């Protein structure tokens, strides 16, 4: 079984090994964000990006306002921790 989770945009490598450590496969994997149905909202100089397909949700994009970006990162980190069995983060 193989689970591959794209945690950010960009290119990374995927290496599959057998039990003896021999390389069975090596490929580049590109993680892309949605290219359509993206809404960018400005509140003065503060920017927020949303992916709106089929409903609008935060899309973490470098260049968004710090509060918007950091909140999205914290939520994604909490979700990933819960998925791996870690206790949920303490509320602030």
Structural domain count of the chain = 1
CA atoms within 13 A on the CB side of 12: 11
Structure tokens at 30: 């590109």
CA 49-81-60 angle, to 5 degrees, is 10
Residue 20 lies in a domain: yes
Structure tokens at 15: 């290496």
* Owning domain of residue 35: 10-83
Q: What is the pLDDT of residues 49-77, one digit of tens each?
A: 998 888 898 888 888 999 999 998 888 88
Structure tokens at 47: 């920017």
Residue 42 lies in a domain: yes
Q: What is the pTM of this model?
A: 0.54
Tell me what pLDDT residue 45 has: 92
Please provide the average confidence, as pLDDT, over all residues in the chain. Answer: 84
The single-letter DSSP state of residue 19 is T
């Amino acid at each position: 079984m193989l689970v591959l989770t794209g945690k950010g945009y960009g290119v990374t490598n995927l290496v599959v090994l057998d039990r003896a450590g021999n390389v069975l496969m090596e490929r580049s994997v590109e993680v892309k964000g949605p290219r359509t149905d993206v809404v960018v909202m400005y509140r003065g100089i503060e920017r927020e990006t949303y992916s709106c397909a089929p409903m609008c949700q935060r899309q973490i994009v470098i260049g968004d306002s710090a509060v918007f970006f950091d909140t999205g990162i914290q939520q994604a980190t909490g979700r990933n921790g819960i998925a791996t069995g870690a206790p949920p983060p303490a509320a602030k």
